[in-house]
Structure 1
Amino acid sequence: MKKNLSLLLPIVWTLIFSFFFILMINITLQYIPIKNDVAFLQIKQTEVHKIPSYLTLFYIHVYSAIFVLLAGFTQFSNFILKKYPAIHRNIGKLYVIIIVFLSAPSGLFIGIFANGGFFSKVSFVTLSILWFYCTLKGFLHIKNKNIALHKAYMLRSFTLTFSAITLRFWKVILVYLFQPSPMDLYQIIAWLGWIPNLLIIECYLYNQSKK
C-alpha cells in the first residue's frame, strides 16, 4: 500500500503542477508583446504612467517567475539528482541567480504598490524578502556542504515561488464561493497565497527532523 502511494503521489503532484503551470504560461502570454495596458496592468495605469521604472520591473518579475517556477520544480526530482547531478547544480544556480537578482527584487518593488492597501503591501513585501532570504541561505548552505540545511531552505524557497500558483488558486476559489469585492479579495489572497504554503513546509521539516 505504502509503495503504491509513494508511486502515486509524484504522479498526482506532477499533474497538479502541470495544470497550474500551463495556467501561468497562459497568463504570461497575455504580456507578450510588451504593452502597458493589458490584463492586470489595466488597473495599474497610475503606477505605469507616474512611476518610470514600474513597467520594466513588472515585466522582469512576470517573465522571470515562469523560469524559476519550472526550474524549481526540477530540483526536487530524485531521478535528476542521482542520475544527472550536473543538471541539478546548473539549474539550481540559474534558479538562485534569477530569484536573487531579478524575481525577488522586482517583486519587492511592485509589492510596494500592490492593490488592497497597507496590509496587502506588507504581505507582498514580506514575501519578497523571505523569498530572497531563503533562496540565498539555501545557496550558501550548499556552498558550505551542509546538504540538510540546503534542502530545507530550498524547500522554503520553492514553496514561496509556488505562491504564484496558490495565489491564483485561492483567487478562483474565493471568487466562486463568496464573490468578494476586488480590494477585499486582494487583501485576503495576498496572505493566503504564501502563508499556508510556508506552514505546510515547516510542519514537514519539523516532522522530518523528528525521525
Structure 2
Amino acid sequence: MARFWQRPWIVPLAAVVVIFVAFSIPPYLSFDPAQSRVPQPASLGVAHFWLLVPHVLFGSVALVTAVLQIWPWFRQQHPVAHRRIGRVYVFGGVLPAGLCALTIGAFTPYGPVTRTSDVILAVLWLGVTVTGWRAARHRRFGEHRRWMIRSFALTASIITNRIWGAVFVIGLSPQLETTFHGDEGLLSWVASGASSWLGWTVPFLIAEWWLERGRTKGRPAIRPAPQPAREPAVPAP
C-alpha cells in the first residue's frame, strides 16, 4: 500500500488549495458587496452578491474536502471517514455551490462567452457529482471512482481558471490600445471568456485521458485463439 509520501502530488495540491481558499474567502466573509472581486451586474444588482457569497463558501468546502477524497492512503485507511466526508463534499459543497453557480453564471458581467461556459460548467459539475454519488449508493465503486475523478477535475477548475485569467490579462494588456482600442471592458471579456473555457475543459480532458489510460493499462493482453489439434495422418492402405 502506497504511503502518503509516495504520492508526490498530494502535499503540493493541498498547499495550493489552502492558499487559494485563504485568498478567496476573506472578501466574502465581510458580507460587504463593495468587497466583492466580481463586479455586480446591473440586472441583478446586490442579489448577485448574495448568491456569490454562498457559492464561494460552499465551493471552498468542496475544494478542501476533495483533497482528502482523492488521497488514496486516506481513502484506504479510513473508509468510514471517506464516506462521511464524501457526503459533505456532495451535499455541503458541490450541490449548493453548483446551484448558485447556475444563477450567477447566467448573469455574469463578463459577457456571453463566459456566461455560456459558466452555465455548462455548473450543469456538468452537478451532473457528474450526482452520478458518482448514486453509483456509490448502488455499490458500484469502480464507476463511482471514475465519476468522482471527473467531479474533482471540475471542482479544481476554479483554480486553473484563475491561472488562465492571469495569463490572458498579462498577455493581452500590451494590446489594449491597438487590438482593443483602449476598451478595458472588451479586454476583460476576451480574457474572461478564454480563461473560463480553458479553465474547466483542460482539467476535464486530462481527467478523461487519465481514466482511459488506466483502463487501457488494466486490460489483459489479447491472446490468440487456440488452434484445434490436428489429427494424425492415417497411412493409406
Q: TM-score scaled to structure 2, two decimals?
A: 0.79
Match of 2:82 in 1: 88
Residue identity in the other structure for 2:208: E
- The 1:124–1:45 alpha-carbon spacing in structure 2 relative to 1, beyond 3 Å, is closer
Distance 1:185 1:174 in 2: 5
Q: CA deviation at 1:172?
A: 1.9
Tell whether 2:29 aligns with 1:35.
no
Query: Would the alpha carbon gap of residues 93 and 20 (structure 1) be closer, same or farther in structure 2, given more than 3 Å must change?
Result: closer
Distance 1:100 1:162 in 2: 11
Asked if 2 retains the 8 angstrom alpha-carbon contact of 1:57 and 1:110, the reply is yes
> CA distance change for structure 1 residues 123 and 190 in 2, over 3 Å: closer, same or farther?
same
Q: Give the alignment's Cα RMSD to 1 decimal.
A: 2.1
The Cα offsets for residues 98-144 of structure 1, whole Å up to 9 and x where unpaired, read as: 24541110011100011332221110000000000000000000111
1:182 — aligned with what? 188
Q: Which blocks of at least 5 consecutive residues in structure 1 are unaligned?
A: none
Q: Is the 8 A contact 2:54 2:97 kept in 1?
A: yes
SS at match of 2:30: coil
Structure 2: 5+ residue runs without aligned partners? Answer: 176-186, 218-237
After TM superposition, list the pairs within 5 Å mapping 1:137-176 onto structure 2.
Answer: 137-176=131-170
- Name the structure 1 match of 2:18: 21
Instruction: Name the counterpart of 2:226.
Output: none
Matches within 5 A, 1:6-85: 10-41=7-38, 43-44=39-40, 46-47=42-43, 49=45, 52=47, 54-85=48-79
4+ residue runs of structure 1 moved beyond 4 angstroms? none
Task: Describe the shift of the 1:78–1:155 C-alpha distance in structure 2 as closer, same or farther (beyond 3 A).
Answer: same
% identical aligned pairs = 24
Q: Distance in 2 between matches of 1:78 and 1:147?
A: 14
Secondary structure of the structure 2 residue equivalent to 1:194: helix
Residues 72-92 of structure 1: per-residue CA shift (max 9 Å, x gap): 110011221121111100000
- Label 1:14 to 1:72 Cα distance change in 2 as closer, same or farther (>3 A): same
Please tell me whether Structure 1 or Structure 2 has the larger radius of gyration of its CA atoms.
2
TM-score by length of 1: 0.88
Distance 1:102 1:61 in 2: 7
How many residues align? The count is: 203
Are 1:81 and 1:88, in contact at CA under 8 Å, matched by a contact in 2?
A: yes
Q: What corresponds to 2:197 in structure 1?
A: 191
d(CA) in 2 for partners of 1:38, 1:45:
15
Q: Matched residues in 2 for 1:31 and 1:79: separation?
A: 34
Q: Which residue of 2 aligns with 1:98?
A: 92
- Cα distance, 1:46 vs structure 2: 2.0
Structure with greater helix share of residues: 1
